[in-house]
Amino acid sequence: MTNSPLYHFEEFNEQIYAAQAAEGLQNISTVQFEGKTSVEFFSAVLRKKKSLFPLPYSDFKIHDELDFITKDIKYFTGVLYFLKPYIVDTSRTHGMYRQNLADHRYLTYASSCVQAIYNYWDRIGDLLHLYFQTGLRLDKVYLGMVINNFPVAYKQEPEYIALKELYDNNLNEFLNERNQVVHYYQLETLYNAIREASTSSMRAISRSVSAFVYVRSAENSLVRSSPRITSTK
C-alpha cells in the first residue's frame, strides 16, 4: 500500500533484488554443492575431521553465520550495481569530482561491503584454525597468518594451493584495503580529498591522483571478491 511508511523502502528493495538477479548474485544457502544443500554439505565436511579445539557453537550455527554474512554482501553489492549508473563519472567531467546523492550512498555501501567481505574471510580463517594445527596464538589468528602457517603435510593438496593462490592474487590486497577503511579513512574520504584538491593548485591535484587510483582499485577488488550466481530474495 502506498500509504505504508515502508512503501518506498520496499520499492527500493525490489530494485535491489532486480539488480542482484541481473548480476547473478547469491548467498550461500541458495547454492547447491555436489547435489546437497549448503548446510548438508557444510556439516558433512566439518564432521569428516575432528576439530583440534572445541567449536564455539554447532556446525549449523557456523553455517548460518557465514550465510548471513553472504546475504549482507549480496545486498550491499546489489545496491552498488543499482547505483553505479548514477554516480559521478570523472572521465566525463574532465577529472572534476562533484559528489551527488547517489555517489554518497554508493560509497557508504561500498565501505560497508568491504567490511562484510572481511568478516566472511575472517570467519574462514577462524574455522581453519579450529581444524588444522597452525601454532598461532588466538590473537594472531587471521586468514593470512593461518594460510602461511598451515601444516606442511597439507601444502601440496590442491585445495590448499587454490586457497593460497586466491589469497595471494586477490584477497591479500583487498583485506589490506579493508584495514585502511576501518583504521584510517573510508572510501568517501578519499573521494572528498579529490574534490577539495580539484579546487586547489595543480600540485595538490597531482597528489590526489594516487588516492583516486586507490579507490578505483578498491571498487574493482570489491566486485572480484563478491559472490556471483543466480539470485533469490
Q: Give the pLDDT of residue 201.
A: 43
State residue 200 phi and psi, 5-degree precision.
Answer: -105, -155
Q: Give the pLDDT of residue 197.
A: 61
Confidence of residue 4 (pLDDT cuts 50, 70, 90): confident
Nearest to 116 by CA among 175, 61, 173: 175
Q: Give the pLDDT of residue 227.
A: 46
Place of cell 578519499: 190
**37-44 — which CB contacts under 8 Å span 24+ positions?**
38/63, 38/67, 39/63, 42/66
Three cell numbers written together for 222 = 570489491
Q: Give the pLDDT of residue 172.
A: 86
Q: Give the pLDDT of residue 198.
A: 56
Most confident of 9-18, 54-63, 95-104: 9-18
**144-147 — which CB contacts under 8 Å span 24+ positions?**
144/172, 144/175
Q: Would you say the C-alpha torsion 193, 198, 203, 207 has a positive or negative sign?
A: positive
Q: Can you tell me the mean pLDDT for 24-38?
A: 93
* Total-model pTM: 0.77
74: pLDDT strictly greater than 90: yes
Q: Mean pLDDT check: name the lowest of 108-122, 124-138, 190-204.
A: 190-204
Q: Can you tell me the mean pLDDT for 6-18?
A: 94
Top pLDDT among 37 and 217 is at: 37
Q: Mean pLDDT check: name the lowest of 15-29, 120-134, 154-168, 206-220.
A: 206-220
Top pLDDT among 14 and 178 is at: 14
Q: Mean pLDDT check: name the lowest of 12-26, 84-98, 113-127, 155-169.
A: 84-98
209: pLDDT strictly greater than 60: no
Nearest to 167 by CA among 151, 143, 149, 150: 143
Confidence of residue 173 (pLDDT cuts 50, 70, 90): confident
